[in-house]
């Protein structure tokens, strides 16, 4: 799961590295802004993965093959439907969103072009979320790894071919990502359907037409969606305020956010293991197995967080130079490397406990913890933004710390109750 997740940032990292060596900073800034808007849109639908994993893990613990089939069908239907609807919705919304950021004319035009092309891959990205969530819940991490590796390698090859070979520029980077997303999904469907043979059961098509079979999944997804939107507000404010500081700052923040993606996906890889193992333990009603998984994953998570912080501290400058040859962008990004180095240690608790809450399908508590952190952060965001880019990154670190604290308090409250996490919430 860790290896699978570490391939995810490669798409953004390769797009940045390839476009970052083109001659103008607004080209890199366009990929940054358009890519951030697309990423925010995809992340808002993260419940398709998180909601599916907990239920799949619990069905695995009960040895319920029919429930696994129904859940997979529901996830793919939701992913395809939402992907198409959101792509159509973003067509008229994109110019308005970019206007809020007050970009330069050159940046505005290129960012729109990049985002419009990327939207063609949105249904594939969301269906992949649902499929990967289901596979992780069944404790099959090899197929997600194959999917994500295929997508990443395809993106690398096509990025170089389209941007540098065919001279398609920013549009070439977008087309490379779209083709890569569809390639990963098709491979995952081909391999994933074979895993159903390991779990005997039958898909009940009639049940898919009944509202009550969707209610549990939709209720959990609703709370995860609200939780994710709260997180998206913070990322959107970071992009919004950063864009107003100029094209070079936008581009520099994009390089730093690639480091954040590496951190998030590395720590999320261990959190996904917690989701699968804790969900299975709850399905089988084995509290000792749940806490053992959490303890072991906690030790590994802290170790990886320290390792990542050290890597960014020692290798941060080469990491920036790898992504761009523009001196002004390099200078701004390197001045903010201490924030990137501090991030893994500050954020590790929140990622670990997210895994516990997803596996336990305790989406309501996850939502509440995130809303508390956002409520504490928002009054500080405006005065911190007045301090420039250093204020933006200081505020982001503060938000991540408050997020971890609120989740820790929720965990203590549930664990102190008589039944603890063994009561399945749906």
Q: How confident is the model at residue 156 (pLDDT cuts 50, 70, 90)?
A: confident
Residues 380-391 as b/e (b if ≥16 CB within 10 A, e otherwise) read: ebeebbeeebeb
Extract the tokens encoding 15.
């797009």
The answer to whether 407 and 350 are in contact (CB under 8 A) is yes
What is residue 102's predicted lDDT score, i.e. its pLDDT? 64
Residue 10 has what pLDDT? 65
The angle subtended at Cα 207 by Cα 205 and Cα 209, nearest 5°, is 85
Q: Which of 155, 157, 138, 158 is nearest to 147 (CA)?
A: 155
CA 129 to chain CA centroid, nearest Å: 10
User: What mean pLDDT comes out for the span 264-281?
Assistant: 79
What pLDDT was estimated at residue 4? 58
pLDDT tens digits, 40-71: 788 778 778 777 877 787 788 777 777 788 88
* Under 8 Å between Cβ of 184 and 153: no
**Per-residue pLDDT band at 11 (split at 50, 70, 90):** low
Mean pLDDT, residues 359-363 taken together: 79
Give the orientation angle of helix 247-283 with respect to helix 9-19, to 10 degrees: 170
Confidence of residue 209 (pLDDT cuts 50, 70, 90): low
Q: Are 2 and 266 spatial neighbours (Cβ–Cβ below 8 Å)?
A: yes
For 300, list phi and psi in degrees, rounded to 5: -65, -40
105-118 and 65-101 are packed helices; what angle lies between their axes, rounded to 10 degrees? 160
Q: How far is CA 304 from CA 144, 301, 355, in A?
A: 21, 5, 16
Cβ atoms 259, 77 nearer than 8 A: no
| Rounded-to-integer distance, Cα 257 and Cα 32, Å | 9
pTM score, two decimals? 0.67
Predicted local distance difference test score (pLDDT) of residue 213: 66
**Torsion angle of alpha carbons 256, 7, 97, 333, nearest 10°?**
10
Of 9-23, 135-149, 189-203, least confident by mean pLDDT is 9-23
Find the mean pLDDT for residues 197-211: 71
Q: Are 333 and 27 in contact (CB under 8 A)?
A: no
Query: Quick one: pLDDT band at residue 365, thresholds 50, 70, 90?
Result: confident
pLDDT of residue 104: 66
- Given this model, what pLDDT does residue 160 score? 87
How is residue 250 written in tokens? 């936008």
Supply the mean pLDDT for the chain. 82
* In the predicted structure, residue 111 carries a pLDDT above the cut 70: yes
Average pLDDT over residues 368-391: 89
24: exposed, middle or buried (C-beta count within 10 Å: 0-12, 13-18, 19+)? middle
DSSP state of 424: P
| Domain count across the chain | 1
- Does pLDDT of 269 surpass 80? no
The residue with greater pLDDT, 377 or 21, is: 377
Of 267, 355, 250, the closest CA to residue 309 belongs to: 267
Tell me how far apart the alpha carbons of residues 331 and 318 are, in angstroms, rounded to a whole number. 12
Predicted confidence at residue 139, as pLDDT, reads 80
Locate 249 and state its tokens: 């700052």
What pLDDT score was predicted for residue 426? 45
Residue 410 has pLDDT above 70, yes or no: yes
Element (H, E) at 273: helix 247-283
List the domain range (segments joined by +) for residue 65.
Answer: 2-422
């Amino acid at each position: 799961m860790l290896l699978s997740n570490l391939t995810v940032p490669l798409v953004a990292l390769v797009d940045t590295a390839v476009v970052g060596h083109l001659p103008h900073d607004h080209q890199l800034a366009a990929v940054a802004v358009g890519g951030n808007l697309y990423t925010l849109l995809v992340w808002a639908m993260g419940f398709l993965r998180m909601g599916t994993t907990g239920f799949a893990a619990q069905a695995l613990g009960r040895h319920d093959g029919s429930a696994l089939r129904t859940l997979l069908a529901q996830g793919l239907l939701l992913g395809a439907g939402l992907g198409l609807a959101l792509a159509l919705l973003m067509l008229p919304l994109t110019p308005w969103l970019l206007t809020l950021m007050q970009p330069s004319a050159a940046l505005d035009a290129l960012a729109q072009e990049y985002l419009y092309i990327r939207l063609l891959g949105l249904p594939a990205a969301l269906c992949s979320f649902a499929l990967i969530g289901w596979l992780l819940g069944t404790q099959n991490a090899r197929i997600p790894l194959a999917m994500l590796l295929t997508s990443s390698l395809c993106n690398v090859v096509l990025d170089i071919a389209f941007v540098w070979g065919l001279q398609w520029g920013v549009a070439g980077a977008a087309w490379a990502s779209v083709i890569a997303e569809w390639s990963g999904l098709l491979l995952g469907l081909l391999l994933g359907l074979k895993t159903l043979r390991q779990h005997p059961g039958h898909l009940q098509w009639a049940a898919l037409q009944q509202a009550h079979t969707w209610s549990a999944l939709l209720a959990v997804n609703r709370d995860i969606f609200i939780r994710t939107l709260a997180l998206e507000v913070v990322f959107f404010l970071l992009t919004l305020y950063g864009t107003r500081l100029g094209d070079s700052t936008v581009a520099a923040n994009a390089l730093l956010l690639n480091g954040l993606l590496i951190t998030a996906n590395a720590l999320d890889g261990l959190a996904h293991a917690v989701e699968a193992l804790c969900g299975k333990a709850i399905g089988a009603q084995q509290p000792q197995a749940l806490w053992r998984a959490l303890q072991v994953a906690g030790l590994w998570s802290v170790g990886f967080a320290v390792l990542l912080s050290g890597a960014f501290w020692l290798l941060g400058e080469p990491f920036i130079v790898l992504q761009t040859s523009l001196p002004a962008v390099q200078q701004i990004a390197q001045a903010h490397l201490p924030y990137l180095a501090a991030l893994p240690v500050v954020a590790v608790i929140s990622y670990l406990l997210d895994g516990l809450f997803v596996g336990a399908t305790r989406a309501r508590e996850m939502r509440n913890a995130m809303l508390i952190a956002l409520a504490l952060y928002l009054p500080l965001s405006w005065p911190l933004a007045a301090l420039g880019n250093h204020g933006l990154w200081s505020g982001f670190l503060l938000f991540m710390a408050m997020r971890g604290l609120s989740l820790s308090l929720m965990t203590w409250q549930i664990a102190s109750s008589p039944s603890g996490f063994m009561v399945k919430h749906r």
